[in-house]
Structure 1
Amino acid sequence: MRTSCVIFVALLCCSLGSGKLFDDELRELTEFVRLQMRCGYPDRGVPILAPAQIAYKEIGIRSASFGCNGNFTELIIEGLDSYEFSKLEWNNILHTIKFDMNFPKISLKSSNYKLNILASLFGGDFSLWGDGVFNLELINFRANGSFIIRPKSATSGVYVKSWKVNWELEEAKSQTTGIMNSRLYSKFINDLIKEYLDILINDNPTEVSQFMEELIVPPMNVVLDNIAWYEITAIILGLVEGILPVEPIC
């Protein structure tokens, strides 16, 4: 209890000062997150993410111009813990984290997928089906932007707001098999996927940013809801030494 009070008072003093950057402490926190991704956070519903493994995943997408349904078996996502930061800053006045991070390679693989696709393209409808091995790689997937951390109160959880992040993709590689049970169709669709993802991500920043925010922020807030404001700020400011383990907690 006494330690918590000391930390809390120190944070009040720090908050009265000018905004500063605490890159070293922030990077220490990101390294701990990288380690913990090997174990997940089961108590808060966060699965193992390095790698992420899903035994079976059903897909059902429907819009005015695109429909897709089917499933993936033994889906594995690798590279989520490979992130590299070229910028990582904390503003103590605005409680804002600014960052520029890159994932050198994220791979999505499934030992067997089964998909039926119906889409409208160039004024006409076309349908495709696939049953084979799914293999997709995202090369240099970059996120650049900022978000704000706000406390619910001094002693309860925190949450993320004002998520402003842009995403860029250098290249996509697809080697999926079994499209229309044809090697020719598979090659054509793999080439189309590469071009489509390039256009989708790099030419539609607002839509992609909104999609990624809906994907990332809600589970982040679930985890942060269990962390007090003074605790997470103390870690960022480096006020408590040795609070972050050097090994993952499983």
Structure 2
Amino acid sequence: MKFLSLLVIIAALAACQGAEVAESLDAQQRSVSSIIVDTLEDLKVQMADGWPEYGIPSLAPLEISHKDMNYATGEVFANGEFDDIVVRGLNEFEIKSMEYSLLFSRIRYEFVFASLNVSTQYKADVGAGYHLARDGGAFLALENLRITGQVRYSTGIVGSNNNFRIRDLQVNISVDNVVSNIENLSKYRIMNRKLNQIVEEFIDLTINENTELIADWIDSTVTPICNELIGDRSLSDLLGLITGGGSN
């Protein structure tokens, strides 16, 4: 989810750069939408190196050595740890559409990830009136993950570099197929596969049946984060952040 937030931030900042050059578009024979697309294509390349000056590691792939998990509500609990986490496909998205409206201060977009997947080694203790300990390898993939929506923004007085703000984010997420291959959910191979099918169905329904809930959560959570990240940076500073250069 953090990456989805970053992706929307990048689109919004690219739009800001597009607005800055809007007056020269006729001479350049390029649309603002194409400028945004070019910026996102540059982003894919930069993701391999990350943005170390901002504390963002390489995202292609994203590697995390260790992550603890602690969850409890009522009688249900899940405690565990994940090692050697590798997330692949973050930079392998296709830009299906990108429509920029200067009149409405809005960007509409559609991205598709052919396969966004994670592999890891896990140890877990779970229970709900019982106790179950498991460990092994795990692989999870979201295939044809589609992200559509829009970014609306506002700017201050013409010529000001510090008044760009995101008004709201609309992020709609859907997935065509979920693949789960978690080892040792059961010592019986047939039962293990059945449990993985339950995981697949649960994730599919969670994403596809809760699009409005997820969209509202992203808007209320990510919009203030975006504006905090933008701060008082100038437009050139924002573009530099996207492409790996520029000032802090």
TM range (shorter): 0.7 to 0.9
1:135 to 129, 134, 139: 139
Q: How many residues align?
A: 219
Match of 2:205 in 1: 199
Q: Say if 2:34 is the partner of 1:30.
A: no
2:112 to 102, 105, 122: 102
Cα distance in 1, alignment partners of residues 166 and 125 from structure 2: 37
Q: Say if 2:189 is the partner of 1:189.
A: no
Q: Matches of residues 231-242 of structure 1 in structure 2 within 5 Å? A: none
**CA offsets, 1:193-239, max 9 Å, x none?**
1111111111111223245557865665565447423665xx7xxxx
1:130–1:181 contact (8 Å) kept in structure 2: no
Q: Say if 2:102 is the partner of 1:92.
A: yes
CA, structure 1 residues 93+114, in 2 after alignment: closer, same or farther (shift >3 Å)? same
CA, structure 1 residues 158+177, in 2 after alignment: closer, same or farther (shift >3 Å)? farther
Structure 2: stretches of 5+ with no match in the other structure: 1-16, 24-29
Shift of 1:161: 3.5
Q: Which has the higher helix share?
A: 2
Match of 2:8 in 1: none
Match of 2:3 in 1: none
Query: SS in structure 2 opposite 1:77?
Result: strand
Q: TM-score, normalised by structure 1?
A: 0.73
Shift of 1:164: 1.2
Match of 1:46 in 2: 56
1:116–1:128 contact (8 Å) kept in structure 2: yes
Query: SS in structure 1 opposite 2:182?
Result: coil
Cα distance in 1, alignment partners of residues 192 and 170 from structure 2: 37
Question: RMSD between aligned alpha carbons?
Answer: 3.4
Cα distance in 2, alignment partners of residues 95 and 71 from structure 1: 44
Q: TM-score, normalised by structure 2?
A: 0.74
CA, structure 1 residues 226+175, in 2 after alignment: closer, same or farther (shift >3 Å)? farther
1:175 to 174, 177, 181: 181
Match of 1:149 in 2: 153
Structure 1: stretches of 5+ with no match in the other structure: 1-7, 15-19, 120-124, 236-243
